[in-house]
Structures are given as structure tokens and as C-alpha cells.
Amino acid sequence: MRKRSVWAWGVAIVCFIVLMIVTPAIPQSQEYHNFADQRKFLGIPNALNVVSNFPFLVIGLIGLVLCHHGNYLKLSLQGELWGWTCFYIGVAAVAFGSSYYHLKPNDARLVWDRLPMTVAFTSIIGIFIIERIDERKGTVSLIPLILTGVVSIIYWRFFDDLRPYAAVQFVPCLAIPLMAILLPPMYTHSTYWLWAAGYYLLAKIEEAADKPIYNWTYHIVSGHTVKHLCAAMVPVFLTLMLAKRDIETNRISLFQSWRISWSKTKENGATVDSLTCTYSGVAVEESH
């Protein structure tokens, strides 16, 4: 198992190096800072983009309290406690980092917007490894994963190249839903992972449609503001999952459970069709 892990890390590092060699650098576009809604309210510039970060602080603090007060979330593994603590710290810090950035959008402030988000992303990967693959490996990987995220931001800031940060941000978007579907869970309510991933995907779409959404809503709200609210639903769903879940006694993946459900549905459909045909045949004979 240890040899396989070394091979996996080796392959990942080689793939990343090849990607860095064969792809061009991705500089930070300065147009990114030109958000649709730049209205000032009560002296706050870009007011809605600033205020809409408040839900991150609320859910982050709630998550931290639930993790550490009376073990309400029933985190049975030490690695889980560390992982979820890092996640909720990252979520709460998004409120400060993103608000600070949106008060005066520029590259220097964008660092403090992205840093807490990266801590949250990378913590989630570690948590998933703990739950779905191996507790010890997941726990040990937490610090290296978080450091990888931090280094990707430092690299972008010094070299104006977003490729490492893009990998850190988007790999979890692909890996987490796939692992949630394909790997057997330790706990129940695994579908909440998919709901969280869906809201994050929706948030990214809204971010890209910042100006169109602002125009469609007759300048009431912009896509970036709505993006903040949708992104805040990610930790909300994960917190609900933690509060409701129990140890999974029948450890089968979501994919396997969907296959079983689909097979039963087909069998039931075939049974209904057979009974319908039999009933129709009897009815025809009786009519004669």
C-alpha cells in the first residue's frame, strides 16, 4: 500500500511538471477586478460584493463551535477534527479576506481573498482521503495539501502565473464528486457532497456571468454577489451532512447503490409489464 502511494504521488508530480512545461503561463487579467456592481452604500464601496461575504463568517463560526463543543458533529477520528477545523477556519476567514479585497479590488488584496479559500479546498481533499481511502494517510496529508495551496498563491503573486492555483482550485472540483460517487463512504448522507459540489459549480457560473446577471436583474444584484451566496451554501450543506450522518454499516459507493436501485426499478417495471400482459390476455379470453 505504501509503495502504491509513493507511485501515485510520483505520477501526480510528474504530470504537474509536464503540464507546467507544455502549457503557457496564465497571467492574472486586470479586467477581473472590474466588477459589474460598484455601487457605494453607507460609505462602503462595492457594498453588495462586500456585505455578501457575511454568511461565510456565520457558517464558519457555527462549524467551529459544533466541531469543538461537546463533539456535536460526532467526529470520531482525530484527523477528521483537524481537517474540519482547518476547513471552517478557512470558511470564516473568507469573510474577512474577500471583504478586504472587494473594498478595493487589486492583485495585492486578491491574495487575501484566495488564501482562505485555498485552505478550505485543500482541507476538503485531506478529509476525503481520511474518510474514503486511509485515515493515517489523510491526516498526514493535511499539512502538505494546505502548504501546496499556499505555495500556489505565492507562486502566482511572484511570477504572475495562475496555473498552479488553477490546479489547486479545480482538481478538488473534479476529484471530490468522483470520489463521492465511486468510493465507499464511511458515513451516511454522502449525497450532500454532491449538493455542495453542485452549488460550487453554480457559483462559478454566476461569477463568470457577473455582468449579464447584473443586466438581467435590472441592476439589482450582480453575478458576483449571487456567487458569494451560492458559494456559502457549500459549507452549509457540508455542515448539515455532518450533523445528520451516522456510521455507514453497508459500505457501498453511491455508484453501486444507484446501479442496484436502477436494477430494481427495471425488474419492477418488467414485473408490471408482465402482469399487465397477463391481465390483458385473461381479459381477452373472458370476452370471448
Q: Which region among 43-52, 103-112, 123-132, 220-229 has the lowest average model confidence (pLDDT)?
A: 123-132
Question: Taking the model in full, what pTM does it have?
Answer: 0.87
- Phi, psi torsion values for 282, nearest 5 degrees: -65, -40
pLDDT band at 92 (very low <50, low <70, confident <90, very high): very high
Provide mean pLDDT across the span 61-67: 94
In percent, the amount of the chain with pLDDT more than 90 equals 56
Residue 279 is predicted with a pLDDT of 56
Print the SS3 string covering the chain: CHHHHHHHHHHHHHHHHHHHHHCCCCCCCHHHHCCCCCCCECCECCHHHHHCCHHHHHHHHHHHHHHHCCCCCCCCCHHHHHHHHHHHHHHHHHHHHHHHHHHCCCHHHHHHHHHHHHHHHHHHHHHHHHHHCCHHHHHHHHHHHHHHHHHHHHHHHHHCCCHHHHHHHHHHHHHHHHHHHHCCCCECCCHHHHHHHHHHHHHHHHHHCHHHHHHHCCCCCCHHHHHHHHHHHHHHHHHHHHHHCCECCCCCCHHHHHHHHHHHHHHHHHHHHHHHHHHHHHHHHHHC
| pLDDT tens digit sequence for 170-179 | 888 888 888 8
pLDDT band at 288 (very low <50, low <70, confident <90, very high): low
Residue 273 is predicted with a pLDDT of 56
Residue 218 is predicted with a pLDDT of 93
Specify the higher pLDDT residue, 188 or 216. 216
| pLDDT tens digit sequence for 144-175 | 999 999 999 999 999 999 999 988 888 888 88
pLDDT at 277 exceeding the cut of 90: no
